[in-house]
Amino acid sequence: MGALGAIGLRAQTAAPVETQGLPPRAAPSDYQAAEKAGAFTVAADFVGHAVPTLQGPLSSEDFVAVEVAFFGPADGKVKLSFTDFSIKINGKKNPIESQQYGLVMKSLSDPEWIPDVPAEGPKSKGGISGGGGGGAAGDPKPAPPKMPFPLRRAMEQKVQKAALPEGDRAVPVAGLLFFPYRGKDQSIQLVEVLYAGAAGKATLTFRK
């Protein structure tokens, strides 16, 4: 294999982005809610459609997020999985199960990204500018601008890094969980985060 072929192969087999989670805060009391689960304490913030990352805030229309953290004895470890969590919103009977972070990628957006916009709006069929960008009556609306692939990939990697790490983890440890929900944040008055995993069980309640 030539040198160029070897370089290309190494690029294709580069190590994937590691899920690192978020830095845990100093204590469970630094979160909106905290409850004991066996020898550990589960703490969390409900952040709605916001998606906090170390590199800045993102958002998702299709998912709501919970920043969760585990605290426990020195040198303690806890086995974590996103499947240990579910939420109830506004007292609904059926809980919403947590989803793997990869499913949130399609609905991610960056509030700080400003797409390039043409100086002129689309022209009507008669050749006259639509002014406000509406075009001629009956013209289909232009497709929303797409984020360039390198920027979108970087955004997705931010979320992958911030997701709750899985497997046996030393405490304290923290990260994001995602739950499918398209309702507006303003309509959410009560949230119950339900945990049932290796450490035990806990219910964390958030009220507006």
Q: From edge to edge, which strands make up the β-sheet containing 96-97?
A: 96-97, 85-89, 190-197, 200-207
pLDDT for position 111: 85
Q: What is the pLDDT of residues 3-44, one digit of tens each?
A: 444 444 443 433 455 788 999 999 999 999 999 999 999 999
What mean pLDDT do residues 144-157 have? 86
What integer pLDDT is reported at residue 9 of this predicted model? 40
Reported as a single tens digit per residue, the pLDDT across 47-90 is 999 999 998 999 999 999 999 999 999 999 999 999 999 999 99
Q: Are 20 and 165 in contact (CB under 8 A)?
A: yes
Dihedral (CA of 187, 100, 86, 201) sign: negative
Determine if the pTM surpasses 0.75: yes
Q: Cis peptide leading into 144, omega within 30 of 0?
A: no
Across 109-145, b (16+ Cβ under 10 Å) vs e yields: ebeeeeeeeeeeeeebeeeeeeeeeebeeeeeeeeee
- Residue 166 above 90 pLDDT? yes
Bond prior to 172 in cis (omega within 30° of 0): yes
CA 57 to chain centre: 10
- Which distant-in-sequence residues (6+ apart) come within 8 Å of 183 by Cβ? 89
If you average pLDDT over residues 103-115, what whole number do you get?
A: 89
Residue 174 neighbours by CB distance under 10 Å: 23
| Measured distance CA(156)–CA(152) in Å, rounded | 6
Please, what are the domains in the chain? 18-112+145-207 (2.60.40)
- HSE, CB side, 13 Å, CA atoms: give it for residue 181: 29
Residue reference for tokens 């899920």? 19
| Contact status, residue 190 vs residue 89, Cβ threshold 8 Å | yes
User: Comparing 121 with 96, which gets the higher pLDDT?
Assistant: 96
Q: Which of 95, 62, 104, 100 is nearest to 195 (CA)?
A: 95
